[in-house]
Structure 1
Amino acid sequence: MAIFVHNNLHTNRVAIAATKIAAAALAVAAMVSTAACGSQNAQDPNQKTITPGVLTIGTAQPTYTPWMYDNKPENGKGYESAVAYAVAKKLGYSKDKVKWVRTTFDSAVTPGPKDFDFNLQQFSITAERKKAVDFSPSYYNATQGVVVKKDSKFANAKTLADFKTAQIGAMVGTTSYSFAKDKIKSDIQTFNDNDALVQALDSKQIDALVIDTPSSVNIVRSKQVKDGVVLGQIAGSEDKEGTGLVLPKGSKLTADVTKAVNALEKDGTLKKLQEKWLAEYTTDVPVLK
């Protein structure tokens, strides 16, 4: 009987010990698994893009000529598409390593997380916007054009003063709006996107629209406004700060993008791209004073 009790106790002790060893092994395995997952999920401190090995570039939906052609930023046609790929190349990303995403104008320049590494859709560089996002140096300095319909009573306007009684439209939050307000009149009708702005002029809800000069020429050429005409560009409306690439605030990529844009300016690439894609949309446009 004594021997039976002793053997039983011994068996229990062995079972308990085995259970403890198994539990310990499971705990160690769980710790290793958690650590591995944490390592995989944690962002590499040296990683500068939101997706490893990929440069994600944001732009508008839709896009417009001459900035991008056929609403296909990935085709490399148009000034901003060409600039984007030139910057990507300077950063070491081939065309097949570039991913395009679409955003609204406002969401790109307001505070908060972004789903792009940089974004371009003619963003004027302003002190107010710099509080929410980072900017590259300017890659273009646009002027502002005025578009009317040929049958409008303002079609023969020669000066900005001739528009004092006109209903003027511009896209909200843009440099176009600022210049229209400062140079023409204080009461400017605002629109959330270019399509709405153009439709308003085409349907005669407004008498004239103000938008960057290349876009104004394209609106007329592509007949987005029936019988539209570019009366001219606003004197003194060149954007002194210029148009820059937008990056998330505090982006690890800002310094590299800044270096890339400066290099493209210095080596003449930006000038060549402007001559290729923008010259026909900016020459021979009269100045309205």
Structure 2
Amino acid sequence: MLSRNAIAAQACAAVLLITTAGCAPADDTKPSAGASASASGSACPAGALDTFTAGKLTIGTDNPAYEPWFSGNKPSNGKGFESAVAHEVAARLGYPAQNVVWTEVTFNNAIAPGPKTFDFDINQFSITPERRKAVDFSSPYYLVRQAVITTAGSKIAGAKTIADLKSAKLGAQVGTTSYQAITEVLKPDTKPLVYNNNDDAKAALENGQVDGIVVDLPTAFYMTGAELKDGVIVGQLPQVGVPEQFGLVLDLGSPLTGCVTQAVDQLRQDGTLAVLEKQWLAGTGGAPELS
């Protein structure tokens, strides 16, 4: 089994290709409704935005907060890709680490309609038209693929095509695009199983309750390289249409959406996002595409 360092080294070139391929397509990178107002400097006074708590920036994410997006289940430490991105966004908005407050919010609650207890939430939220009806999104900070993982000796370990997975029993976290990928792309004969989080899905795989699980590609590399005994990436799913994109979630019509989007755009344009991807995320090397 590859070490995490070996996985990261193998993947760096692919990460660079992803990041330099660049800005997501125009139809999905446009700001949400709350971002229509000008995001100029005068509209985004540093450290003095209309935040949930005056003088502080409150950022939400789930508990547990998984590797490689976070490190040590401590979002506030600035380690892991999403923790680092969140702190960079906060800094661009004028909120140093001591003025950032992290709050626990479940995945489904963060994207549900209604007032929020955070200024923005970061938790691998894919930007979708359905979710845009309930929340605002920033411009995307990451383009992602989904992948099927299993363990050596599984009946699907040698699968090469989507058709090879037709009879597989698969699982994924509830409410995620990973689950959606099973139902809309893989379409197995058996109804997929749903789990509260990736830890529960991983346990089901280890216990033989499912043949494989679907997760985003960086998580697939981490799980198979550092968490699962004899973990195997079966393959990544084909990219259909517009690439899947992760965005920061804000309250629908939030006055902060434009400012947060501006900060994300700056991080993309000056290369900071590319640097953070290289530092924290494994790329697509070693993950064949299922045809």
1:195 aligns to 2:199 (yes or no): yes
Structure 1 match to 2:137: 135
Alpha-carbon offset, residue 277 of structure 1: 1.0
Deviations, residues 200-254 of structure 1 (Å, cap 9, x unaligned):
111111101001010011111222x332211121122686251000011111111
Q: TM-score, normalised by structure 2?
A: 0.79
C-alpha RMSD of matched pairs (Å): 1.6
C-alpha spacing 1:159/1:140, structure 2 compared with 1 (3 Å): same
- Larger Cα-atom Rg: 1
Shift in alpha-carbon separation, 1:65–1:243, aligned structure 2, 3 A: same
Structure 1: 4+ residue segments shifted above 3 A:
none
Identity of aligned residues (%): 48
The residue that corresponds to 1:254 in the other structure is 257
Q: 1:126 & 1:154 partners in 2: Cα distance?
A: 30
1:109 CA displacement: 0.1
Tell me if the contact between 2:107 and 2:123 (Cα under 8 Å) persists in the aligned partners: yes
Residue 145 of structure 1 aligns with an amino acid whose one-letter code is: A
Q: Distance in 2 between matches of 1:239 and 1:121?
A: 20
Q: Tell me, which stretches of 5 or more residues in structure 1 are unaligned?
A: 1-45
2:43 is aligned to: none
Give the one of 52, 65, 68 matched to 2:67.
65
Deviation at 1:157, TM superposition (A): 1.1
Whose relative contact order is higher, 1 or 2, with alpha carbons under 8 Å and at least 6 apart? 2
**1:222 is the counterpart of 2:226:** yes
- Of 170, 173, 183, the match for 2:172: 170
Partner residue of 2:246? 243
Task: Compute the displacement of 1:164 (Å).
Answer: 0.5
Give deviations 1:68-103, integer Å, cap 9, x for gaps. 111011111111011001100110111110011111
Which amino acid letter does the alignment assign opposite residue 53 of structure 2? Answer: T
Q: Does residue 105 of the first structure (1) align with residue 110 of the second (2)?
A: no
Give the whole-Å Cα distance in 1 for the aligned partners of 2:136 and 2:156. Answer: 40
Shift of 1:148: 0.9
What is the TM-score normalised by the length of structure 1? 0.80
Aligned equivalents of 2:289 and 2:211: distance in 1?
19
Map of 1:16 onto structure 2: none
- What amino acid does structure 2 have at the position aligned with 1:178? Q
- Is the CA contact 1:144–1:237 (under 8 Å) kept in the aligned structure 2? no
In the other structure, the counterpart of 1:264 is: 267
Instruction: Report the secondary structure of 1:242's partner residue.
Output: strand
Q: Is the 8 A contact 2:49 2:256 kept in 1?
A: no
